[in-house]
């Protein structure tokens, strides 16, 4: 069938096209094909209209019938005197267009098989000279449609007109013409296939462009999202927002971060194959490029813009001085007005003498000088990295069975902590080394033994209210005193599908309140929680944490090496080959997690703050999904005297999503909290434990294996923030002849680094409480430790407002009003003092300018204030007089118009 073959050929060509490789599913293709069919229908309608305009109208009643139309075409009609050739061409084009429709493929089998002329004319018809003939090539050229002469002058393919001859020649001509028609049909089919493919590509190109444009672009901290069709969810880090059918490009600003790590952007779209997800890593804006003038963040990070920080401090100092001067001046004026003046009159003088006030003397008091002394104690720990010295204890036990067969079992107790994660034992027998055993502590997992409290869904609080007069509707006698919280009021029945509670308060009655009776009316209200998502959260507590220790054991006996990684439960004996391994002691740090609550869902989980109030509680997940209106309310609002002024708790899951300290996974310098298979798991390396190893292979002579080797370090600059949850980050690249774990001790920090022959890269996170870091560190690889300098200037971080999600941010940084009026933290002054010292010339200029303006303000401040007040008073008076004159003018115009109307009526 031509239409089917054309469609298959078009889809095949589109599959070969490079742009179509980005189409992940068939749904956009089907939509584009449907649009292409609509386009072809429009083309067919246009051709039909053109044919109707160029084809003569027949008024013959016999010829208008379908069964007699062929006779009309093949014979002379007395009422149709026009040439038959033009009608044959029009009918041929109509049939070719008809064959493009589904279900009419048979019309193209033998085109024009009944439209045979009864006579052959010898007149030679030539195409119009304005027609251009273009030969088809194998190259793909763009098809350009141009308007030319009217449609009746365009002849797509001219058939050779034979001279009039005998009837036999006429029959031969019919047969040849039938063959030519088949060839023409093939040519037209190929041409129609090319046209269809062109139109389809033209219609598919917007879809392809849209699909290509789903590749989100991000630059300079801006995420550009193209217009998308259908439902999709956009997530920037842990902040997600669902949207539907966007028609324009949308830009979102990424917040600045002191670590300047990229932001994870995820796009989830819905297609016929299900939910598809794409991820991008977008660069955040530079932290120092978004520090504003007169901002607290600039004062805390003066190294980003030293001149701006000094100028901001000078302006703030001048404002403080001016405010103090203004307060003193106002206080002096008020005090002088309250005091009654004393007039002393001497004999012979009528001039009163005003007592002179003593002049206040100011003495400059030098500021006390402060001396900052940093006392550091370098803790020299025993090195354990790379199978180095560790803490072990040896013991031997005599074990006998019922047959009095005894043997000695030797055991070793190994101590592990956050700095000692590897210990190696060399096994000796007869003063000969028979093998080694290496024990590596991977991590210690604490799994929450969760106790489920209830289930809930994210909601948005709304207050519905309605007012009814006494004895009207639901407002009967004592209704406000007897209403129940779970009662459904008829006036608020549209809010019964949401959980919450109902209430009523008495309001005014009588004519002035819109009621007929002078009785109190009823003001019904309902505090409703409208669900904003189908995501179901499980609210759990963790009264107990189950500990699991992960160890890697590598045993080498002769030329055979075995390496296993197992999880061990404390105080339980685990047998691995010839070893009995037991974690006999573990000391957990006191993390504040035991009394925490968590909200767990399939794709999102949160650590709930201590005072967080969950609005709705459901008993089961089914009730939360299908019967949400039957769930219980857990909050109370204070509405006062009007439901319009209800004060309710503003806790919501959206605020948790905007808070990085509440969104899981949560990574800190001491532990990582994550969700694993629907449960909360905290991973840490801070714990101290003792591992006991028992085996017959351990003889009475057991030595600790110590390997000393040289190592090289490459340390990146320290970045991040101080006194914050993100911490300070840096990258340590360590290279050593063999794989090893090295202990690094600094003046205030200790950490572990993995070394190897292929330059192992380590991402280290540390916590500092001061911004300027310049510490000497020692890496204990061999007898002589490797020294390197850990330095950097940490940023002062201000958290963005929690009530402003990422999708509504107007700037990359924190707004100034939030910095000064909502955030109570103060930056460390050491970076600012360092900036003043290094830019002392600029500091002197700023200080001189500030003192000069302060002096001018002191000398001319009262005069300037008086002139400003006088000017403002004159402007206010002028505006008031002008408005009053305009009001009088309008009243006069209205009166004159009314008078003229009455005069005309009289």
CATH 2.60.40.3770 in the chain: give the residue spans.
Answer: 707-797
CB 567 within 8 A of CB 505: no
Quick: pLDDT tens for 661-680: 777 887 776 778 888 888 88
Give the three-class secondary structure for 312: helix
pLDDT tier for residue 797 given thresholds of 50, 70 and 90: confident
State mean pLDDT over 339-363: 46
CB 95 within 8 A of CB 70: no
Element (H or E) spanning 846, and its range? helix 840-905
196: pLDDT strictly greater than 60:
no
265: pLDDT strictly greater than 50:
yes
Q: What is the DSSP letter of 250?
A: E
What is the residue-wise DSSP string for 77-90? BTTB-S-HHHHHHH
Quick: pLDDT tens for 313-342: 888 888 888 888 878 878 887 887 777 555
Give the residue, 383 or 67, on which the prediction is more confident: 67
CB 413 within 8 A of CB 704: no
Least confident segment among 224-238, 806-820, 854-868: 854-868
Backbone dihedral angles phi then psi of residue 847, each to the nearest 5 degrees: -65, -40
- pLDDT, residue 98, reads 53
How far is Cα 302 from Cα 772, in angstroms, rounded to an integer? 12
Q: Which of 327-331, 363-367, 783-787 has the highest mean pLDDT?
A: 327-331
> Is this structure's pTM higher than 0.75?
no
- pLDDT, residue 119, reads 46
| Span 707-797 CATH architecture | Sandwich (2.60)
Residue with tokens 């002394």: 373
- pLDDT, residue 386, reads 45
Largest Cα–Cα distance of the chain, in whole Å? 159
How far is Cα 431 from Cα 254, in angstroms, rounded to an integer? 65
Quick: pLDDT tens for 233-259: 888 887 788 888 888 888 888 888 887
CB-CB neighbours of 543 under 10 Å = 11
- Exposed / middle / buried, residue 175 (Cβ in 10 Å: 0-12, 13-18, 19+): exposed
Q: What is the DSSP letter of 356?
A: P
Give the residue, 615 or 114, on which the prediction is more confident: 615
Q: Which of 48-62, 387-401, 580-594, 753-767 has the highest mean pLDDT?
A: 753-767
Tokens of 454: 């209830």
125: pLDDT strictly greater than 50:
no
State mean pLDDT over 167-177: 52
State mean pLDDT over 849-857: 84
Question: Of all residues in the chain, what percent carry a pLDDT higher than 70?
Answer: 65
- Residue 137 CB partners (closer than 8 Å, separation 6+): none
Residue from 341, 360, 362, 361 nearest 352 by CA: 341
Please state which of the four CATH numbers 1.10.3120, 2.30.30, 2.60.40, 2.60.120 is assigned to the domain occupying 217-286: 2.60.40
- pLDDT, residue 54, reads 53
Residue from 251, 257, 241 nearest 219 by CA: 251
How far is Cα 723 from Cα 762, in angstroms, rounded to an integer? 23
Residue with tokens 């794709």: 603
Q: What is the DSSP letter of 333?
A: H
Q: How far is CA 409 from CA 413, 423, 579, 580, in A?
A: 13, 20, 11, 11
165: pLDDT strictly greater than 50:
no
- pLDDT, residue 810, reads 79
CB 791 within 8 A of CB 774: yes
Tokens of 468: 């009814």
- pLDDT, residue 686, reads 74
pLDDT tier for residue 126 given thresholds of 50, 70 and 90: very low
- Residue 671 CB partners (closer than 8 Å, separation 6+): 591, 682, 683, 684, 686
What is the residue-wise DSSP string for 644-677? GG-B-----HHHHHH-TTTBSSEE-SSEEEEEET
CB 1 within 8 A of CB 101: no
How far is Cα 439 from Cα 3, in angstroms, rounded to an integer? 72
CB 747 within 8 A of CB 378: yes
Quick: pLDDT tens for 379-406: 323 333 345 455 667 777 677 766 777 7
- pLDDT, residue 639, reads 82
Least confident segment among 275-284, 688-697, 850-859: 688-697
Residue from 296, 317, 310 nearest 843 by CA: 310
pLDDT tier for residue 137 given thresholds of 50, 70 and 90: very low
């Amino acid at each position: 069938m031509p239409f089917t073959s054309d469609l298959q050929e078009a889809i095949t060509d589109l599959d070969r096209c490079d742009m179509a490789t980005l189409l992940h599913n068939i749904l956009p293709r089907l939509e584009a094909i449907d649009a292409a069919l609509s386009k072809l229908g429009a083309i067919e309608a246009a051709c039909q209209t053109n044919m109707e305009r160029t084809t003569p109208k027949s008024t013959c009643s016999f010829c208008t019938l379908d069964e007699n139309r062929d006779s009309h075409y093949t014979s002379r009609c007395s009422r149709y005197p026009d040439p038959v050739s033009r009608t044959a061409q029009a009918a041929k084009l109509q049939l070719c267009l008809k064959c493009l429709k589904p279900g009419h493929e048979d019309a193209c089998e033998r085109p024009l098989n009944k439209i045979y002329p009864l006579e052959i004319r010898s007149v030679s018809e030539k195409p119009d000279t304005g027609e251009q003939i273009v030969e088809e090539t194998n190259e793909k050229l763009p098809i350009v449609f141009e308007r030319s002469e009217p449609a009746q002058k365009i002849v797509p393919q001219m058939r050779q007109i034979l001279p009039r001859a005998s009837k036999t020649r006429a029959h031969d001509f019919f047969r040849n013409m039938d063959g030519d028609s088949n060839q023409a049909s093939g040519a037209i089919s190929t041409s129609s296939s090319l046209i269809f493919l062109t139109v389809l590509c033209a219609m598919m190109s917007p879809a392809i462009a849209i699909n290509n444009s789903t590749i989100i672009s991000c630059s300079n901290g801006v995420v550009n999202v193209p217009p998308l069709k259908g439902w999709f969810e956009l997530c920037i880090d842990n902040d997600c927002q669902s949207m539907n059918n966007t028609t324009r490009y949308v830009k979102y600003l990424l917040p600045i971060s002191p670590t300047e790590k990229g932001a994870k952007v995820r796009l989830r779209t819905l297609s016929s194959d299900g939910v598809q997800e794409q991820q991008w890593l977008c660069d955040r804006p530079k932290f120092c490029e978004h520090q504003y003038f007169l901002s607290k963040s600039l004062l805390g990070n003066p190294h980003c813009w030293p001149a701006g920080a000094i100028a901001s401090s000078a302006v703030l100092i001048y404002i403080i001085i001016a405010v103090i001067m203004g307060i003193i001046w106002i206080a002096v004026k008020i005090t002088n007005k309250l005091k009654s003046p004393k007039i002393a009159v001497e004999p012979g003088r009528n001039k009163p003498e005003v007592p002179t006030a003593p002049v206040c003397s100011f003495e400059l008091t030098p500021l006390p000088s402060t001396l900052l002394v940093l006392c550091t104690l370098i803790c020299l720990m025993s090195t354990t990295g790379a199978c180095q010295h560790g803490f072990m204890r040896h013991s031997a036990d005599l074990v006998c069975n019922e047959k009095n067969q005894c043997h000695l079992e030797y055991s070793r107790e190994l101590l592990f902590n956050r700095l000692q994660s590897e210990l190696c034992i060399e096994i000796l027998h007869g003063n000969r080394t028979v093998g080694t055993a290496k024990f590596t502590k991977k991590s210690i997992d604490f799994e929450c033994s969760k106790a489920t409290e209830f289930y809930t869904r994210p909601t948005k609080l709304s207050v519905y209210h309605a007012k009814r007069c006494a004895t009207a509707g639901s407002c009967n006698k004592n209704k406000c005193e007897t209403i129940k919280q779970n009662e459904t009021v008829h006036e608020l029945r549209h809010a019964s599908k949401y959980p919450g509670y109902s209430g009523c308060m008495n309001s005014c009655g009588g004519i002035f309140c819109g009621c007929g009776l002078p009785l109190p009316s009823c003001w019904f209200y309902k505090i409703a929680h409208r669900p904003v998502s189908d995501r179901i959260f499980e609210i759990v507590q963790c009264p107990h944490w189950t500990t699991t220790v992960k160890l890697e054991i590598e045993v080498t006996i002769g030329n055979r090496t075995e390496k296993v990684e197992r999880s061990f439960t404390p105080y339980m004996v685990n047998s691995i080959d010839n070893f009995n391994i037991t974690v006999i002691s573990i000391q957990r740090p006191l993390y504040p997690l035991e009394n925490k609550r968590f909200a767990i869902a399939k794709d999102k989980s949160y650590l709930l703050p201590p005072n967080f109030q969950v609005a709705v509680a459901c008993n089961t997940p089914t009730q939360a999904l299908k019967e949400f209106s039957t769930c219980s309310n857990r909050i109370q609002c204070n509405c006062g005297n009007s439901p319009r002024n209800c004060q309710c708790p503003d806790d919501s899951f959206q605020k948790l999503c905007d808070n990085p300290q509440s969104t899981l996974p949560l990574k800190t310098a001491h532990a990582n909290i994550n969700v694993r298979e629907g449960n909360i798991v905290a991973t840490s390396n801070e714990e101290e434990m003792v591992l006991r190893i028992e085996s017959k292979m351990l003889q009475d002579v057991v030595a600790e294996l110590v390997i000393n080797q040289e190592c090289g370090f490459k340390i990146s600059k320290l970045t991040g923030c101080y006194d914050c949850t993100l911490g300070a980050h840096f990258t340590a690249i360590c290279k050593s002849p063999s794989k090893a774990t090295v202990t690094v001790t600094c003046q205030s920090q200790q950490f572990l680094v993995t070394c190897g022959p292929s330059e192992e890269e380590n991402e280290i996170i540390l916590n500092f409480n001061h911004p300027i870091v310049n510490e000497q560190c020692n890496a204990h690889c061999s007898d002589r430790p490797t020294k390197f300098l850990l330095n950097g200037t940490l940023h002062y971080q201000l958290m963005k407002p929690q009530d402003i999600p990422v999708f509504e941010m107007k700037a990359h940084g924190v707004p100034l009003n939030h910095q000064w009026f909502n955030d109570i933290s103060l930056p460390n002054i050491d970076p600012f003092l360092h900036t003043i010292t290094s830019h002392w010339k600029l500091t002197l200029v700023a200080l001189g300018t500030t003192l000069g303006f302060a002096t001018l303000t002191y000398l001319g401040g009262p005069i300037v204030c008086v002139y400003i007040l006088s000017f403002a008073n004159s402007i206010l008076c002028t505006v008031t007089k002008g408005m009053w004159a305009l009001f009088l003018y309008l009243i006069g115009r209205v009166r004159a118009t009314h008078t003229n109307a009455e005069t005309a009526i009289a």
